[in-house]
Amino acid sequence: MKIRSVETIQRPVRLVAIGAVAVFCCGTLPEYAAPKGELVDPSALDRSDAVPYRMLVREDFKGKNPPAPFAPYVDKIGAATCGQILTSNDMNISVQAVRSNSGDVVYQVVPHHIRFEARMDRNCSWWNPKDLGVPEAYILEHEQIHFALFELEARRLNANIDAIKGRIAVTVRNLEDAQASAQRELEQYIQQRMGAILARSRQFDQETSLGYQPVQQKKWWDLVNRELAATSN
């Protein structure tokens, strides 16, 4: 039986995954050129020029320097796209106090307005001004596919909102633990999905970044566009 509603509306739990990806390298795909990703503190994230999924142009790559993981390899990286997957600004949780079957008071977390969005951070994304012998159109298409992989993952997350809500909707005995528990569950889930997107991005780079591979890249281009057409945003 519910005994009262605490209705503690927390600030949005905005969890962000950022991955910077390399476009081109020679020989085998070295570790320095593999996609990178991490969960970051939303307060440390610059969202001033992050755009939703759309076709990219060369001018979208505004970064003056490559993202930090790729900085030592500027002579081997054609471009780097900084992609984000984050929760919507209006996401929040409420906490309700209820009496359990044993008669104890426990606290139930209820998530609201969960939705995921993919963004491309133009201030972070970087284009190498040096000519590496690869057509600009190829590099741009490559980066577009990476952005599409972020968008597809955001759509997969949105398609599984009910399961995510069930994971976040924890019941705890301590009011102070409620938000921390919900955030921890969400972080763990996003961490798992981030592993999946990085693995797919790495497969894409493995097949298309070892020199100029237009046939292989066209296969990926067709694949992501079919998946985008088949899914809802």
Task: Note the pLDDT tens digit of each residue in 175-218.
Answer: 778 777 877 888 888 888 888 888 898 889 888 877 788 999 99
Characterize 11-40 residue by residue with b for buried, 16 or more Cβ atoms within 10 angstroms of its Cβ, and e for exposed. ebbbbbbbbbbbbbbeeebeeebbbbbeee
Per-residue pLDDT tens digits for 126-158: 999 988 888 999 999 999 999 999 999 999 999
Average pLDDT score, the chain: 81
As a whole number of angstroms, the distance between CA 108 and CA 8 comes to: 11
Return the number of other C-beta atoms located less than 10 Å from residue 76's C-beta.
Answer: 18
For residue 216, give its domain range: 2-230
- Residue-level pLDDT at 26: 52
- Residue-level pLDDT at 132: 82
Start-end of H helices in the chain:
136-159, 161-168, 177-208, 214-230
Q: Count the domains in the chain.
A: 1
- Residue-level pLDDT at 19: 37
As a whole number of angstroms, the distance between CA 225 and CA 5 comes to: 46
